[in-house]
Amino acid sequence: MMAFFANLFGYLLNFIYNIIGNYGVSIIIFCIIIKVVMLPISIKQQKTMKKSAKMQQKMKEIQFKYKNDPEKLNQETIRLYKEENMSPFSGCFSAIIQLVLLLSIFYLVQSPLTYMKKIDTGSIDKYKTIVKEELATESSYPEIDIIRNINEIKKIDREDIKSEEIDNMQINMEFLGLDLSKVPSKNTSDWKVFILPVIYVIISFITMKITMSTQKTKIKKQENKVVDEEGKEQENKEDMMDAMNQVNKNMSMIFPIMYLTVALLAPLGLALYWLVNSILMLLERLLLDKIIKEEEN
């Protein structure tokens, strides 16, 4: 399935590249287009989060009222979600989409000749062998190796090397002084390869901090007094979150660590995609939050 989406995204990325002529700039424009296409889902997700936050008070009342009756508590919880037309797993939808995008883009970036340039497998395999035999180069990203060594391949005197094929495989991966074909873990002597991963981590933690701070503020505002069965008031001290918010919280902490690990092992083109996507996601979240607040008022 990931290969299918990588192939679709490849058409879009190649179309942009044919106009722009620069891989890095093409990735940035690609990110913006994907974010715009996904905007309706993002708006729905943001509204779901808002709606879920408002359900917290009702959830607290149910949990307090039926704290000694687990079966009734479960029934009333299900009833509340039905009344509000909500699902406890609504937040998982966004996480699944992010995972699909992550894996699809990873496929695309690690194999741009296959998914972006649509070079046939036979030609790619031939040049993989040439790079391995003639240049003694072998890594986890053979297609990236071909692109990086295009000029060296042209110098090799072999009948099976065709200039037309080589020209079709050429991709301009120079971006602001960075070679997006480089893999940080394989080029530790070049400090510039760590710029994108480091900036990405900083942006990710800023996003996470803003998200967690926003959620904490919402919860504190909803920590009202709950009335027990005898009519006595009791202060509810527990910071409770529904399943969706908990999933989002966990993902906001897991994804940056996972992305950083992969970014150090993958070509810089992938790190650039994640960085731009993170910045756009942060701006989108802040903008949608403001728009939704104005609609509520």
Q: What is the pLDDT of residue 238?
A: 45
Same domain, 189 and 155: no
Does some domain include residue 191? yes
Same domain, 154 and 13: no
Q: What is the pLDDT of residue 53?
A: 66
Does some domain include residue 230? no
Any idea which residue has 């966990």 for tokens?
250
Same domain, 82 and 179: yes
Q: What is the pLDDT of residue 278?
A: 83
Does some domain include residue 94? yes
Same domain, 108 and 124: no
Please say whether the dihedral angle defined by the alpha carbons of residues 186, 187, 188 and 189, taken in this order, is positive or negative: positive
Q: What is the pLDDT of residue 217?
A: 57
Same domain, 282 and 210: yes
β-bridge pairing 174-175 and 233-235:
unpaired
Same domain, 111 and 133: no
Same domain, 149 and 249: no
Same domain, 151 and 179: no
CA angle 246, 263, 190 (to 5 degrees): 145
| End residue of a domain, out of 170, 193, 210 | 170
Same domain, 199 and 88: yes
Same domain, 15 and 63: yes
Residue, of 209 and 173, whose pLDDT is higher: 173
User: pTM for the whole thing?
Assistant: 0.75
**Residue range 242-253: average pLDDT?**
57
Helices (H), the chain: 2-20, 23-37, 39-54, 56-65, 70-83, 90-110, 112-115, 121-134, 142-148, 150-155, 163-169, 195-221, 243-265, 268-296
pLDDT tier at 229 (50, 70, 90 boundaries)?
Answer: very low
**Residue range 42-58: average pLDDT?**
71
Residue among 164, 196, 168 at smallest CA distance from 181: 196
Residue, of 292 and 189, whose pLDDT is higher: 189
Does some domain include residue 229? no
Q: What is the pLDDT of residue 81?
A: 74
Q: What are the tens digits of pLDDT across the range 54-92?
A: 676 677 777 777 777 778 778 777 787 777 666 666 656
Helices (H), 135-194: 142-148, 150-155, 163-169
Q: What is the pLDDT of residue 79?
A: 80
Does some domain include residue 133? yes
Same domain, 193 and 206: yes
Q: What are the tens digits of pLDDT across the range 141-168?
A: 899 989 988 989 988 888 888 888 888 9
Q: What is the pLDDT of residue 241?
A: 46
Instruction: Point out the least confidently predicted range of 19-33, 105-119, 184-198, 217-231.
Output: 217-231
Q: Residue 136 sits in which domain range?
A: 120-170
Same domain, 54 and 183: yes
Number of domains in the chain: 2
